[in-house]
Amino acid sequence: ENPLDFLVEEYAVNYPFQYDPGERAELQSFLEPVYPCAGESLRNWFSVMGLNQPVMQTYVLLDQMCKNINSNFIYTVREEPGVQPPEQTLGMGRGSCRDFAALFVEGCRNLGLASRFVSGYAHLPQSEQWSTTTHAWAEVYLPGAGWKGFDPTAGEVTGRRHIPVAVARHPETVPPVAGSFVGRNGPLPELIVDVRVVAL
């Protein structure tokens, strides 16, 4: 399977474009930013990347944003719950896969592109830091092609090695690990989570 083997509608080949009214109604919640304070930071980031051109190929724009995160931000493992706001990730220049996916999603929405957060697993043996573990990435709705995945942590379009489990408008609603403990009062037992993804 070639993750780049898809076609978009002619009117969406170049950015900017407008979704047709029927699609826009279905996509409205994925067009609205969830981090309203990030707008100015995102616009500055777009300018640095050169995304403020009058016309760009839509795929080139998305690929450039994806690869910019991969190349210019430092990946860190964060055990704390939650997701960094995009303006914090931009300011620090570092984050986890959740933070990078949230930055990409919010960047797309600020450009008028419907996007959603994906939580799942990845099997990427070429990466020493996070080769087989829980993972997060983004999907963008492209007319004619549907939802297409972009992994800003790896800097690539998603394919067979990405296994989606849940998608959401807000990244906080699909954490990589969640649950509750029911038992006797007293000290909580130590909880250890070990996730392995193996190609069959």
Please state the domain extents for the chain: 12-173
Task: Give residue 88's pLDDT band: very low, low, confident or very high (50, 70, 90).
Answer: very high
Q: How far is CA 143 from the centre of its chain?
A: 19
On the question of pLDDT at 3 being above 60, the answer is: yes
Per-residue pLDDT reduced to its tens digit, 120-177: 998 876 655 555 578 999 999 999 999 999 999 999 999 988 999 999 999 988 876 6
Task: Give residue 200's pLDDT band: very low, low, confident or very high (50, 70, 90).
Answer: low
Average pLDDT, the chain: 89
With b meaning 16 or more CB within 10 Å and e meaning fewer, what string describes 147-162? bbbbbbbbebbbeebb
Encoding tokens for residue 192? 């250890």
- Measured between alpha carbons, how far apart are the two ends of the chain, in Å? 16
Tell me the CB-side half-sphere exposure of residue 97, using CA atoms within 13 A: 24
Does the domain at 12-173 match CATH 3.10.620.30? Answer given as yes
Per-residue pLDDT reduced to its tens digit, 68-81: 999 999 999 887 88
Instruction: Say what the pLDDT of residue 186 is.
Output: 74
